[in-house]
Amino acid sequence: MLNLGEFISTFLLISLGLGSGFVLPTTSSITVGLIWGSVIIIASLIGGFFGTTNMNPIFSLYQLLGEKIDFSQFFAQLSGQVLGALLAASLILSIFKRTNTLNINHFAAIASSDRRTFNFLIEFLGSFTLLFIIETIHAFLKNEQLALLTTGLCIAGLIALIGPITGASFNPARDFCPRLVFICYQKKKQEPTSFKKSLLSSNLAPIVAVLVFSFLLYR
């Protein structure tokens, strides 16, 4: 079973978010944050007509651990997120592969340094902070539109702050799926690429963050 809202919203998130990097290849971290924050709001509004719009496996996992959804709902959301991200990344690749010199940075959240432990810690703290902010927003703001706008702005701020350091994924679907699409493309061209670079910080760190956050909140 597939959550259509997750599929549509994640497809929009990845296609518009990654696509902006090709349309505006050189821009400030603040602009990048505002773009992704705006895209999250747009994708949530559109996808919300068809289902849930977490667009992020760690948010779905957080709801599962908090018993807000069951396993069938979790896997429906996860399926939509993964398929939406894979389709969006494939679309971006097919559109821009002939007009741009592609590299892993176009698709994945790549850290600016090779300090793996430091990158992991920063991405963990960013993801943990994001979860805390969203939990606080939904606890105090009952207006869904205002909560969505506030969430988008907070995510924009975190991306602007942490993006220059780790790439600010906070989302395995946003990083791993486009990363996988790109590495498959590179293998077909028989060109080397660094699939492992920032893999743990961009994917494992958010997962560890949601496990720690859920443990502290629900213990």
Number of domains in the chain: 1
Predicted model pTM: 0.94
pLDDT of residue 20: 92
b/e sequence 43-53, b meaning 16+ C-beta within 10 Å: bbeebeeebbb
188 by Cβ neighbours in 10 Å (0-12 / 13-18 / 19+) ranks as: exposed
**Poorest-pLDDT segment among 31-35, 141-145, 211-215:** 141-145
**Residues 122-173: tens digit of each pLDDT:** 999 999 999 999 999 988 888 888 999 999 999 999 999 999 999 999 999 9
Note down the domain range covering 100.
4-218
pLDDT of residue 1: 81
Residue 100 has pLDDT above 70, yes or no: no
Residue 187 has pLDDT above 90, yes or no: no
189 band by pLDDT with thresholds 50, 70 and 90: confident
CATH of residue 140: 1.20.1080.10
186 band by pLDDT with thresholds 50, 70 and 90: confident
